[in-house]
Amino acid sequence: MQDLPAGKPVVTDTHPSLLDRTMEAAARATPEPLANTVRGLSDRMVAWLFIAPTILLLLAINIFPLIWAIQLSFTNYRANRPNEVVKNIGLQNYERILTDTDTWIAMQTTAHFVFWTILLQTLIGFTLAYLIDRKFRGHAFWTTIILVPMMLSPAVVGNFWRFLYEPQIGLFTYIVSFFTGIATTDILMLSNVKLAPWSIIIVDTWMWTPYVMLICLAGLRSIPDYIYEAAEVDRASNWRQFWSITLPMALPFIMLAVLFRGIENFKMFDMVNLLTGGGPGSTTEVASITLKREAFEKWRTGFSSAFAIILFVAVFGLANIYVKVLNRVKSR
Amino acid sequence: MSAVTTKKRRSAWPRILRRGLLENIATVVIGLGFLMLFQPFAITLYTWSFVTMLAGTVMFIVVSKFPE
């Protein structure tokens, strides 16, 4: 060790690495009073100093609004009437939401949407993963092509699918008309009561199936080859191998994808808002759209806070299960 | 040859309060609450769904701190 002119120790080595040189430069650049203070701190204290900005940021933008929303959910507060006296009304908001048939219907719409998107995405995603896992010629190219929709922004996807669904100029309507013979002007995907929910399901499936495929592919690739070789020795058919090896071993990964997509679709807002805005009528009004209408159209802030807390508890409960499944997958 | 007997330390934590079992129960309660929230059959089930989910979630947070 040699002393610097300023009295700072320097890492000496015949061939100092980049890290050593960087540390040396940082040591030289640190003002002497600060360096003395830091030297007196324990490792634990230094660790706390490093994570403190993140914790403060989390408290400011996540925890504080959550606590405030919980507090507002017990009041009759309206954000458009800031001078009105705010009354504490106890559990009345929760009681209204949980006995209101309109909110119940919104929940059922959400359930319909979540059920069909997850079912279609899992079926198509797993089938695609199974095919891609065969490692045919050009499989890497096709994997990239399949993954493209997932990389797009939901706002962009919502906007261009609106054009595809246009009765006059839409490519989707043209293709459906070509195969079914129905006039394009009769295929009103976004304004027909029966078709509107399916139009959102189609877009979400198109966009997020690649994600499910990716997780399923990871599951299929994690199955060791020797298990299949042992099954070959026992003369197990392909069908038997699929049901006894592939599916059970990929199941935790499929569960993971289902849970993740479930949580995401449960709070789906952007695509529904862009495609139908909850219409026609309230046929595609999922829970998050109802929440937006209550909060920013009817300005019932207290009521919508209570609704947000209910949705938060649902998502938080699902997230707990998600973490449990994730840990099980990790331990494999 | 002398037989060496080693006594395994038994945890004082009650067996019924082990993490694995209780976490599974909490998961079932959350799942049940979730189904009650979404079902289209009875509004009473919908009314009680939030309490069920909340109970399951709180239980999950508490029991996940229990020993295995």
pLDDT digits (tens, 9 = 90+) for A31-51: 887 777 777 778 888 889 899
Could you give the C-alpha distances from A66 to A61, A269, A278, in angstroms and in order?
9, 19, 26
For residue B7, name the pLDDT band (cuts at 50, 70, 90).
low
Distance from CA of B9 to the nearest CA of A (A): 26
Nearest CA in chain A to B35: A111
Overall number of domains in chain B: 1
* Whether A113 contacts A197, CB under 8 Å: yes
Q: Which residues of A touch B43 (CB under 8 A)?
A: 99, 101, 104
For residue B30, name the pLDDT band (cuts at 50, 70, 90).
very high
Q: Which residues of B touch A258 (CB under 8 A)?
A: none
For residue A256, name the pLDDT band (cuts at 50, 70, 90).
confident
User: By mean pLDDT, which of A13-17, A105-109, A200-204, A293-297 is the weakest?
Assistant: A13-17
User: By mean pLDDT, which of A15-24, A108-117, A257-266, A305-314 is the weakest?
Assistant: A15-24
Query: Is residue B68 situated within a structural domain?
Result: no
Structure tokens given for B53: 């989910």
CB contact under 8 A, B37 and A107: yes
Q: Mean pLDDT in chain B?
A: 84
DSSP character string of A67-110: HHHHHHTTB---TT-TTSPPPB-TTHHHHHHHH-HHHHHHHHHH
Q: Which domain holds residue A272?
A: 101-331
CB contact under 8 A, B53 and A104: no
For residue A1, name the pLDDT band (cuts at 50, 70, 90).
very low
Q: Are residues A165 and A18 in the same domain?
A: no
For residue A2, name the pLDDT band (cuts at 50, 70, 90).
very low
Across residues A214-236, what is the average pLDDT? Answer: 92
Could you report the per-residue pLDDT of A201-224, keeping only the tens digit for each? Answer: 999 999 999 999 999 999 999 899
Distance from CA of A309 to the nearest CA of B (A): 10
| CA distance linking residue A35 with residue A58, whole number of Å | 29
CB contact under 8 A, A321 and B30: yes
Sole residue written with tokens 């949580």: A263
Structure tokens given for B57: 């979630």
Q: Which CATH number fits the domain that encloses residue A215? A: 1.10.3720.10
pTM of the predicted model as reported, rounded to 2 decimal places:
0.78
H helices of chain A, where?
A: 18-29, 32-39, 43-58, 64-72, 92-99, 101-132, 139-151, 154-164, 171-180, 195-221, 225-233, 238-241, 247-266, 270-275, 287-296, 301-331
Query: Is residue A139 situated within a structural domain?
Result: yes
Q: Which of A314, A309, A263, A308 is nearest to A290 (CA)?
A: A308
What pLDDT is attached to residue A11?
52
Chains A–B, number of C-beta pairs less than 8 Å apart? 51
Across residues B28-44, what is the average pLDDT? Answer: 92
Query: Is residue A76 situated within a structural domain?
Result: no
* Whether A102 contacts A113, CB under 8 Å: no
Could you report the per-residue pLDDT of A175-193, keeping only the tens digit for each? Answer: 999 998 888 888 888 888 8
Q: Which of A277, A271, A275 is nearest to A290 (CA)?
A: A277
Q: Which domain holds residue B24?
A: 15-63
Contacts of A198 (CB under 8 A, 6+ apart): A189
Query: Is residue A71 situated within a structural domain?
Result: no
CB contact under 8 A, A111 and B40: yes
Q: B20 touching A, CB under 8 A?
A: no
A98, A313, A321 member nearest B27 (Cβ): A321
Q: Are residues A6 and A130 in the same domain?
A: no
Task: Give the dihedral sign, CA B10/B13/B15/B20.
Answer: negative
What pLDDT is attached to residue A94?
94
Nearest CA in chain A to B61: A320
| CA distance linking residue A131 with residue A65, whole number of Å | 46
| CA distance linking residue B46 with residue A99, whole number of Å | 8
Q: Are residues A116 and A232 in the same domain?
A: yes
Across residues A241-263, what is the average pLDDT? Answer: 90
| Higher-pLDDT residue of A179, B4 | A179
Overall number of domains in chain A: 2
CB contact under 8 A, A101 and B47: no
What pLDDT is attached to residue A40?
75
Nearest CA in chain A to B54: A313
Checking if the pLDDT of A332 tops 90, the result is no
Q: Are residues A257 and A180 in the same domain?
A: yes
Query: Is residue A31 situated within a structural domain?
Result: yes
